[in-house]
Amino acid sequence: MTGQVLVLGGTGEARRLAAALVADGVDVVSSLAGRVAEPALPPGAVRIGGFGGVDGLVAWLRAERVSAVVDATHPFAAGMTDSAAAAARATGLPLLRLQRPGWSAQPGDDWRWVDSLAGAAEAVQGFGWVFLTTGRQGLAAFAGLAAHCVVRSVDPPQPPLPARTTTVLARGPFSVDDELALLREHAVDVVVTKDSGGSMTAAKLTAARELGLPVVLVRRPPLPAGVPVVATVGDARAWIRSRAI
């Protein structure tokens, strides 16, 4: 393959893909948004920070002689996913979306689906202790809650926050025992999360099931039309290999 492969990352899948491509001898650069103070860095070259919108991404792709782009960002990083699709159209570059499957309910789950963080805030009205695991970027949607809110994030969240907030700074993965202990310690009666999928943060769903707690789940945003999607690092690696010359 001529040029390099850009992996839009920040996920475990992105790090594993970068490692696989480096092992294959592919010239790969991973891009991280820079929202976490000490991100887990993938093998190979890394750039941190935004591109400056679609125009900035287009200019960067052309200047760096990129041959292909893999969007392996978080399932809820809709802005970056939309920008990648627009930039791929503008440059004619092949683009692949690597996205882990969403979660599936198990017997005993009490899941309540909503379309947005605002919808999640409405769904937990009337509960006393709310466990918010939606990430620190969208906490403003819950600022009006009267409930006690337990917020877990890697870095300290910034206001606006719910008036009664307990912050837990931690980085996953978490075990079921970890989650059971946290839910019991704070007498949580409802869990709020996004349908992120994967195993790193799924233990809270098992813990909620064991305790009989409802879970409010935010649906994923739609993907751009026309972009091929794979669910595994192996499939993404094969897609890259198919473009080798």
Q: Give the span between the Cα atoms of 76 and 221, in whole angstroms.
A: 6
Lookup: tokens for 215: 């879970």
User: 158, 198, 131: which is closest to 35 by C-alpha?
Assistant: 158
Co-location of 130 and 201 in the same domain: yes
Co-location of 228 and 186 in the same domain: no
- pLDDT by residue for the chain (245 residues), tens only, comes to 557 999 999 899 999 999 999 999 999 999 998 776 677 789 999 999 999 999 999 999 999 999 999 999 999 999 999 999 999 999 999 999 999 999 999 999 999 999 999 999 999 999 999 999 998 888 999 999 999 999 998 889 999 999 999 999 988 889 999 999 999 999 999 999 999 998 888 999 999 999 999 999 999 999 999 999 999 999 999 999 998 63
Triad 176, 180, 184: Cα angle to 5°: 175
Residue 230, SS3 per DSSP: strand
Q: Is 142 part of a structural domain of the chain?
A: yes
Q: Is 106 part of a structural domain of the chain?
A: no
Q: Is 195 part of a structural domain of the chain?
A: yes
Structural domain of residue 229, as residue ranges? 4-101+222-241
CATH number at residue 191: 3.40.50
Co-location of 210 and 125 in the same domain: yes
User: 107, 103, 127: which is closest to 197 by C-alpha?
Assistant: 103
Q: Give the span between the Cα atoms of 220 and 116, in whole angstroms.
A: 9
Q: Is 228 part of a structural domain of the chain?
A: yes
Q: Is 230 part of a structural domain of the chain?
A: yes
Q: Is 172 part of a structural domain of the chain?
A: yes
Q: Give the span between the Cα atoms of 2 and 26, in whole angstroms.
A: 10
In the chain, how many domains are there? 2
Q: Is 54 part of a structural domain of the chain?
A: yes
Contacts of 66 (CB under 8 A, 6+ apart): 3, 4, 5, 6, 60, 93
DSSP code string of 153-194: ESS---SS--SSEEEEE--S---HHHHHHHHHHTT--EEEEE
CB 134 within 8 A of CB 191: no
pTM, rounded to two decimals:
0.88
Helices (H), 51-200: 53-63, 78-91, 117-123, 176-185
Co-location of 119 and 31 in the same domain: no
CATH number at residue 82: 3.40.50.720
Co-location of 64 and 10 in the same domain: yes
Co-location of 115 and 211 in the same domain: yes
Co-location of 203 and 115 in the same domain: yes
